[in-house]
Amino acid sequence: MSPVCGDMLVNLMNLPPFEAPPHVEIKRAFPGDRDKILRFIREHFHEGWALEAETALLQVPGTCFIAEEAGELLGFACYDVSALDFFGPTGVRADARGRGIGRSLLLACLWAMRLMGYTYAMIGWVSDAAEFYRKTVGATFIPGGDPAHSVYQNMVGMGPKHETE
């Protein structure tokens, strides 16, 4: 049985081809758009993801991709943020879901990771989206990869609990 929440593994040598949805441009985020992108993430998602995306925007080359239609942001996806070889965070604006934008952002990041030389990628802290990742890129849960035993254990309040005598 799969864990309720945990890290997933993707073989980057078996990725499906990348294709953007009609009228949507998927592109590597431009650092000069940092404030606009972070404002979008804060408005539609949450502060933690904005902080992680800022890290992606400050890397060279940037490790954040965005989805845009007619000059409007629809979604974002990042990699190499929580740790090297990790995908996420990612999100698509609620009114733009169901158009294949999340799939395209995922594949843009995973193909970029493959081109950097990665063979496998981790998708961190997956819960509700597990079936999407399984169907889209064949991701599988990593045994023992729950957040308390993953890179996320370094977050404040997430470390292993030690009993005192």
What are the residue ranges spanned by the domains of the chain? 16-122
Structure letter (DSSP) for residue 132? H
Class at the top of the CATH hierarchy for domain 16-122? alpha beta
125-162 pLDDT tens trace: 999 999 999 999 999 999 999 888 888 888 888 766 54
101-123 pLDDT tens trace: 999 999 999 999 999 999 999 99
E strands present in the chain = 6-11, 25-28, 64-69, 72-79, 86-92, 120-126, 140-141
